[in-house]
Structure 1
């Protein structure tokens, strides 16, 4: 299935300090809903999308964490991320994906469009509000 979805390159946003060759795996708590353990690892073909995810994760962690974007390689099958595909955006314009299989870290990316402090506060408020709203449920 995933062979026809996208050829990449692919990116993962995180606050984790990772090394080349490390594998990112499912089974960690969601950055957006910490009570949910994720069945998938998420990634995108857009470095700015991964940067946004990393910056939101840092903001939700209290703002002291360092947002990082990694160039990654899926080691198995992947699918469109149903949390944004068709549920929020027709098709997959965000080129967002998820996999039950690991992602291999190929390197760190340092260039992406950074969010303003005001934008990050707005994202944090939006995500906090969604936590108590049924529409904010994660398709896990």
Structure 2
């Protein structure tokens, strides 16, 4: 395990309807680049960061944030820490091992429809430009 900045608590945002005890695993398509199958499961120590990920996640379900715990080693997310934000201010992590759902989190900040559309437009622009690794 690489040196990380956090011992938790950790959060994961998704549109999947999960229950405490469920496991989140790698091996699914990216929410942001559907042509990519993910080798890692991503999470953050920022509740609202997980909320943003939930809002932007693929699918028609309701955005949800979960309190999670890693079941194995994890590392700073190199997609943001090495490429965009040295020092990991986004407090983003990834693991090849599952995350266990501990609880549903209800007290996260929802985006306004305008802010959500701005994020979606930026993601579409990044995809069109052929780049833009982001948390996924």
TM over 0.5: yes
Aligned counterpart for 2:77 among listed residues 81, 84, 92:
81
Determine if the alignment matches structure 1 residue 126 to structure 2 residue 125: no
**Structure 2: unaligned runs, 5 residues or longer:** none
Determine if the alignment matches structure 1 residue 10 to structure 2 residue 7: no
CA offset at residue 136 of structure 1?
A: 1.5
Tell me: CA distance 1:117–1:101, structure 2 relative to 1, closer, same or farther (3 Å).
Answer: same
**Structure 1: unaligned runs, 5 residues or longer:** none
SS in 2 for 1:128: helix
Indicate the RMSD between aligned Cα atoms, in angstroms: 1.8
What is aligned with 2:41?
A: 41
Q: Runs of 4+ in structure 1 displaced over 6 angstroms?
A: none
Q: Distance in 2 between matches of 1:139 and 1:7?
A: 19
Q: How many residues align?
A: 136
Aligned counterpart for 1:109 among listed residues 94, 99, 105:
105
Tell me: CA distance 1:18–1:2, structure 2 relative to 1, closer, same or farther (3 Å).
Answer: farther
- Once the two structures are overlaid, the 10-residue window that deviates more, 5-14 or 130-139, is 130-139
CA offset at residue 82 of structure 1?
A: 1.2
Q: Distance in 1 between matches of 2:81 and 2:130?
A: 18
Q: TM-score, normalised by structure 2?
A: 0.92
Q: TM-score, normalised by structure 1?
A: 0.90
